[in-house]
Amino acid sequence: MTSADASVFETTRPASADYLIRFAASDAGRDYKGRLLDALDLRAGLAVLDAGCGPGADLPALTEAVGPGGTVIGVDRDQEMLDAAAARTAAHRCVELRRGDVHALPLDDAAVDRACTDRVLQHVDDPARALAEFHRVLRPGGRLVMGEPDWDTLAVDHPHPSLSRAYTRHITEQVIRNAAIGRQLARLATDAGFRVPEVIPVTQVFRDVRAADRVFGFERTTRRAVEAGYLSEYQAAVWLHHLAHRPFFASATLYVVVAEA
């Protein structure tokens, strides 16, 4: 990679909280998060769970939607994330933050009317167990809305398609634990006892390499692909140089899945 290429790509991984807040504010983040919020069908007075709430990027919107009399419960296993969420929601008295894991949610049975999780199940040890927990804490007739990508759908234009395929294959096989979770959610939710009335595909298209890099971290991920043997040093240089200097196109599909208890 030349110095000119390096000026295009981020070389330092952002802190997790910073990345999540930044993505939520991006065009791609706002688009599908708006669809997820609409699918929750919130109204004043409801109790809603945000599982894996991170630094609380979505909590203010949930709070506004349930209004006076409602409750928003944010759960995360990382105390630093919860501290950031507490600072972000300090003015919202209806927000409760609890430390816990999606495999064993710190809530009673039938405790909430709505639940949501956003790009969390792709990383967990046991998605099926997490779905069972969501079913346990939702009241009868309650609604769970999940947003998860299918990393096999990541497509990056390059004159040598084999390099793009190798890059995506590295992500699906080595980087993301549950890389195909997006396509699996409807089945897993049904197996957990939910009815799945709707699956909404959201395809995100990127035409600006810098904007895409802030989501995908091309240089950092390519270096890992080289270390893992998916690309040679020469192939990595060819791949990154094209992304940096030629017209750019990439797309990926995320699925918003609506499940009813």
Mean pLDDT of 236-242: 97
> Is 5 a residue whose pLDDT tops 80?
no
Q: Rounded to whole angstroms, how far apart are CA atoms 105 and 53?
A: 13
58 or 11, higher pLDDT: 58
Q: Rounded to whole angstroms, how far apart are CA atoms 150 and 56?
A: 24
> Is 3 a residue whose pLDDT tops 70?
no
Report the pLDDT value the prediction gives residue 2, as an integer from 0 to 100: 58
> Is 244 a residue whose pLDDT tops 60?
yes
Report the pLDDT value the prediction gives residue 38, as an integer from 0 to 100: 96
Mean pLDDT of 229-235: 98
Report the pLDDT value the prediction gives residue 70, as an integer from 0 to 100: 97
> Is 4 a residue whose pLDDT tops 70?
no
Tokens of 192: 């957990």
Q: Which domains does the chain have, with CATH numbers?
A: 16-151+179-205+253-260 (3.40.50.150)
pTM for the full model?
Answer: 0.93
Q: Rounded to whole angstroms, how far apart are CA atoms 166 and 147?
A: 25
Q: What is the pLDDT of residues 59-116, one digit of tens each?
A: 999 999 998 899 999 999 999 999 999 999 998 889 999 999 999 999 999 999 999 9
> Is 17 a residue whose pLDDT tops 80?
no
DSSP string, 227-253: HTTSS-HHHHHHHHHHHHHS---EEEE
> Is 201 a residue whose pLDDT tops 90?
yes
User: Which residue type sits at 102?
Assistant: V
pLDDT bucket at 173, cuts 50 / 70 / 90: very high
Q: Of 1-10, 46-55, 60-69, which gets the smallest average pLDDT?
A: 1-10
How many CB atoms within 10 Å of residue 82?
A: 21
Report the pLDDT value the prediction gives residue 21, as an integer from 0 to 100: 81
Q: State which H helix or E strand residue 256 sits in.
A: strand 250-260
Report the pLDDT value the prediction gives residue 13, as an integer from 0 to 100: 84
Rg of the Cα trace of the chain?
Answer: 19
Report the pLDDT value the prediction gives residue 125, as an integer from 0 to 100: 97
Contacts of 157 (CB under 8 A, 6+ apart): 164, 247, 248, 249, 250
Q: What is the pLDDT of residues 121-161, one digit of tens each?
A: 999 999 999 999 999 999 999 999 999 999 999 999 999 99
Report the pLDDT value the prediction gives residue 108, as an integer from 0 to 100: 98
